[in-house]
Structure 1
């Protein structure tokens, strides 16, 4: 008999062009490959639309509008949760007893309306969201947005204290798993590594001709990292430097224009971005979150497809990938490592090391683990 599964996504998972979407979309692919009939539910609230590409993987698809701030604001429930509590979704879920995969704490507001004593439910925790929103507030320049992020962080911390014990909570890193066990006292917390789009190490040996920073440049923490590299690192080491990503601000574009050895590639396609990662000699990926949570998919992209990778501690904390990276927490340290690596060919032994360390990101094996919690 065929297995049926409800998957509730916080956002449309296609196109898989940012970390959370990649993680969700690759799970959908794997369940489809395993013969599971997917009842996909997702919230559509931005320019991503309702893509037909999802039809080939899903038995049925339901789309819901996210509640606007004027109606979804709550003094007790985080807006990312309250805006996704949908009566139509709850009614559909209660029409059968199929297991449910809830993508993100964002979609967990429906749980009090489900009979959890007779139903298998797994909640995929993409981050420890109260920490994540606190870091968004720290990096944000707009006072209004900063206050919103701080309030969401406060509400998320309180909300997470009251998550139901009956569900399994699947965390991306050991660090996040420990937080949900120790800080929120949840009894069923498991480690389930992120699902990358890359399945084997394709890094090329030899020499590239530039350094690369890539990410969604509209995210404040990514803009902060790019400007730090421009102002603090690549003023000390004058090699070709490319910044690539979505929606760069006028501030970042102007900063890049002032550096004559720097090029900014705005809104590259997926294939263009992959080409840049592969051709770079050094992928430079600092992260300034004081309290790291989740994992950055751009780090995995660089390790699966790129050559040398220079990072700081926050981006690799809890990933067990430290040995595959060159690590420094200062601008002088970054500049020194880049100077040493820039003329050092990328070698076969480093590819072998990455192949070993990245075995934990086996999507098929991790899907089998997830299925044991659902059936």
Structure 2
């Protein structure tokens, strides 16, 4: 099987590559020979991938004006490479395209009858529109708006070109109802953990974590600081990748709030495990929130809003609130409430039923057979 990845899927340090790496590892465990093709633009070649793949090929992404195209989304046009297309056309192995980012080959007639599947990360047109709504930079807002416009047309054009595999029921329904996709199925996210390790008892702080380079995540962190923890004097920790100086300054204005920039995997997992409450609201309804799954497999109480669990089976495992006042009340109720074995059993029941890498790998193989 060929797998075309929009980025180098290792290390698994952000949401966009976790599913890809775990897919590769799970397929390898099922005995699949994988030829991996990665677009590289800063993460470098990763020898770890050779443990799971028969071949690994790297291609330079066309960044800046070199990747610009009037009629194709930038995330697609910038991932065109003639050597990749020639390699894929040299045999008739099935192709798994990771993200609509990786679908430039649809412009090539050689692949018209090829067995292919597209693994969606999100409905990207909606995702980019949300980025446009939350971005403060005018230049970035213009880019996100134009990309969303191009992606809407591109998604409609490509929805029936191959099998589509979504991460959530919400995305599946969008592709069926809005784009008229005929061959679209939900395939749960592949995860790096397969065991609920949440600990009973009481933790010592509230935690929000995420990639703080993403404007939406920074906006959520600032919203929590301003609207929830400015009035609620309970310890609150924000942890994440590359926060802005402004967010760092705001987070350290109060004695009971702080920010941990660029925690390593071990440190972040330690924070999730030791927190009494993982607070993970979202301003974006698309996709599956991997940080929430991490908290459910490894942390105690979780507070979210409806957008964070929309189209997923995770609602019964979380406390759902929408307003700052309601969130403050739930935090006060949960902060001294021990996390109990009964809640761990419920997590095991739902998470093991819906997120099983071996079952998902078998389903993926069937879709491409």
Task: Report TM bin, short chain.
Answer: over 0.9
Classify the secondary structure of the residue corresponding to 1:70.
Answer: helix
TM-score (norm 2): 0.98
Q: Aligned partners of 1:293 and 1:162: how far apart in 2?
A: 20
Q: Aligned partners of 1:55 and 1:123: how far apart in 2?
A: 23
Gaps of 5+ in 1: none
Q: Tell me by how many angstroms 1:339 deviates.
A: 0.3
Please tell me whether the aligned partners of residues 122 and 287 of structure 2 are also in contact (alpha carbons under 8 angstroms): yes
Q: Aligned partners of 1:278 and 1:17: how far apart in 2?
A: 18
| Candidates 350, 357, 364, aligned match of 1:363 | 357
- Pairing 1:303–2:296 present: yes
**What is aligned with 1:322?**
315
TM-score (norm 1): 0.96
Q: Aligned partners of 1:53 and 1:313: how far apart in 2?
A: 37
RMSD: 1.1
Classify the secondary structure of the residue corresponding to 1:37.
Answer: coil
Classify the secondary structure of the residue corresponding to 2:165.
Answer: strand
* Aligned ranges 1:95-244 → 2 under 5 Å: 95-113=90-108, 115-116=110-111, 118-163=113-158, 165-244=160-239
Q: Aligned partners of 2:367 and 2:110: how far apart in 1?
A: 17
Gaps of 5+ in 2: none
- Pairing 1:40–2:33 present: no
Please tell me whether the aligned partners of residues 122 and 169 of structure 1 are also in contact (alpha carbons under 8 angstroms): yes
**What is aligned with 2:324?**
331
1:147-190 C-alpha deviation (Å, 9 max, x unpaired): 10000000000011110624110000010001111111121001
**Aligned residue-pair number:** 368
**What is aligned with 2:347?**
354
Which range moves more in the overlay, 192-201 or 114-123?
114-123
| Candidates 3, 18, 27, aligned match of 1:31 | 27
- Pairing 1:89–2:84 present: yes
Q: Aligned partners of 1:355 and 1:164: how far apart in 2?
A: 35
- Pairing 1:57–2:52 present: yes
118 and 156 in structure 1: CA distance in 2 versus 1, 3 angstrom threshold: closer
Q: Aligned partners of 1:200 and 1:114: how far apart in 2?
A: 44
Q: Tell me by how many angstroms 1:115 deviates.
A: 4.3
Please tell me whether the aligned partners of residues 89 and 111 of structure 2 are also in contact (alpha carbons under 8 angstroms): no
Q: Aligned partners of 1:145 and 1:164: how far apart in 2?
A: 27
1:28-83 C-alpha deviation (Å, 9 max, x unpaired): 1001111111100000012x111111111110111001112212211210000001
